[in-house]
Amino acid sequence: MEAKTNSIDLEIAETAATLSNDRSTASCDTTSDKTLKELNASEVDVAGSASSIFRRGGIFPTAICLSKAAIGAGVLSVSAHAAEVGAVYQLICLLLGGFLTICSIRMISIASIETQRWSFEDVCEELFHPAMSLFTGFINACVCLGSAAGYLIVCGQVFVVIFQADDQARNIFVVLTGVCVCCPLALARHVGFMRHLAAVSVAALILLVITVGWYLGDNGMDESVSPENFLFGPGVATVFTYMNSINNLVFAYNNQFNVPQLTGELTPMPSTKGMTKVSVLSTGMSFLLYASVSVLGVLAFGVAEGQKDSLILDLMPVRKEVHVLISLVAVLFSVLTCFQFHIFPVRQFLAFNVRKLRGREADDEKSDAKCCGRTMTRWYDIIGALGSVALVILIAVVITSLRAMLDFVGAFGAAYISYVVPPLWIIAVRRKAAGSSFSWLTAEILFCLAFLGLGIFLFVFGTYAAIVPLLQGA
């Protein structure tokens, strides 16, 4: 009897897994959706306590992956911006940014589930025009390439701080790190593959916060800090300074580029409710980390020349302390993990273009020709991944300023992906569903229009504010 039950359980699990794989690449009709729900529910009931809380597609591991996609190089520069604009402005922007991020993720998950498409390019093609897909995919790829370059820049800074290396040695280290570490990890097929590394990576950045707290406790509050300039800044900030602080926070929260794929990987099936839970968890973790670093960083390193390009350089005077050295190595590991989450959207964009050039659909990889045991689709994916990493290495060797990179990326690309595209998707989905009865005056549509207006402002003026200091410094 027990053997028979196990056989039935195995059959149910295999059937549900097959249907889950099918749903990640193509839309399902109503009957299939109903069957999938019933089978997945049966699978959960049968598995019971045997299912792991950290399984791929679970709420918590997905939240960890999404938070790790956001928590990276941005956390290293938030204190420098907080020192310029004050803790009050910084914390208010962090709260508003967190709320808007949750709304943005929810919008993207709704559009992905309604269209049954799991990348920005495919959703845009389903709802708009192929030209929109190319434009959105291009900007998304630019965001991720710039972000990934920022992570390699951080790796170079860690190497310089620990070994007091010159520029040539730094460049060699960046190239070797990209080739030996980033290239192999960039070949994973699924974002969820990184969930265990992502959890360790988040813990590594928490260690950095603890180290900054230790520095503050050991050295006391920096002499340049007063209650007034801590709360409101030193009073020399311009409108561009305030805007670049927002740009940095837009980048710091930006993880929307992974939302479609992570939505498709949710188990037992994709749901807006599940992704809302994921967004609250991931955004909450990000907020706590950013707020802690903003406050501790300003108190520890001051509001004057003590604030350097990143926390890595701020800790240079105490780099010989064992726990500081450990935290720097932990940061190195953390940003290399975050690097991989930014390569996935670039691969999706390249795969989309290759698929269109070959005249193939998103769901027909199984019928593709094979070479050396792999489909040509997979081979093109591998080539795109390695080519993307090579381009990022080149950018990281040429550009060494982390703040300049993050401010521009946050304004130009992250604002578009986070605040312009999602409300457009919701409007298109609702118009398609409602047909002639669609109204622009509903609460949801009016909120989307306001959200869109904010996104356009951040995209246009934020980019201008990020470029002006670069031109002035040229």
Q: Is pLDDT above 60 for 37?
A: no
pLDDT of residue 173: 94
pLDDT of residue 317: 86
Is the predicted pLDDT of residue 11 greater than 50, yes or no?
A: no
Band of pLDDT at residue 186, cut at 50, 70 and 90: confident
Task: Specify whether domain 59-362+372-473 bears CATH 1.10.4160.10.
Answer: yes
pLDDT for 179: 93
In Å, how far from its chain's centre is CA 424? 20
Instruction: Tell me whether the omega of the peptide bond preceding residue 268 falls within 30 degrees of 0, making it cis.
Output: yes
Q: What percent of the chain has pLDDT over 90?
A: 36
Find tokens 């929260």 and name the residue: 253
pLDDT band at 411 (very low <50, low <70, confident <90, very high): low
Q: Confidence class of residue 387 from pLDDT cuts 50, 70 and 90?
A: very high
Q: Residue 48's pLDDT is what? A: 37
The answer to which of 3-17, 371-385, 410-424 has the lowest mean pLDDT is 3-17
Give the confidence band of 433 by pLDDT, cuts at 50, 70, 90.
very high
Output b/e per residue, 283-302; b: 16+ Cβ within 10 A: bebbbebbbbbbbbbbbbbb
Separation of first and last alpha carbons in the chain = 78
pLDDT at position 474: 47
Helical residues (DSSP H) of 358-420, grouped into ranges:
376-398, 402-409, 415
Per-residue pLDDT band for 192 (boundaries 50, 70, 90) equals low
Q: Please give the average per-residue pLDDT across 41-64, as a whole number.
A: 63
Q: pTM score > 0.85 for this model?
A: no
The first and second tokens of residue 321, run together, are 């302390």
Comparison of pLDDT for 45 and 127, the residue scoring more: 127
* Secondary structure element (H or E) that encloses residue 375, with its range: strand 374-375
d(CA 5, CA 379): 41
More confident residue, 84 or 251: 84
- Alpha carbon distance 214, 218 (integer Å): 6
For the ranges 12-21, 97-106, 201-210, 323-332, the lowest mean pLDDT is seen at: 12-21
DSSP conformational letter for 318: G
Cα–Cα distance for residue pair 100/442, rounded to 1 Å: 19
Which amino acid is present at 379? Answer: W
Rounded to whole angstroms, the Cα distance separating 404 from 251 reads 12
d(CA 114, CA 429): 7
Length of the chain: 474
Peptide bond into 270 cis (omega under 30): no
Total Cβ atoms within 10 A of residue 467: 16
Amino acid identity of residue 233, one-letter, is G
Confidence of residue 357 (pLDDT cuts 50, 70, 90): confident
* Residue pointed to by tokens 């007063």: 226
Nearest to 324 by CA among 174, 173, 214: 214
Which among 172, 463, 199, 182 has a CA at the least distance from the CA of 347? 182
Q: What are the two backbone dihedrals, phi and then psi, of residue 136, each rounded to the nearest 5 degrees? A: -65, -45
- Do residues 118 and 24 touch, judged by C-beta distance below 8 A? yes
- Is residue 368 predicted with pLDDT exceeding 50? yes
Average confidence (pLDDT) over 342-366: 83
Query: Which tokens hold the place of 207?
Result: 């260690």
Nearest partner of 115 among 428, 348, 356, 347, judged by Cα: 428
pLDDT at 45 over 60: no
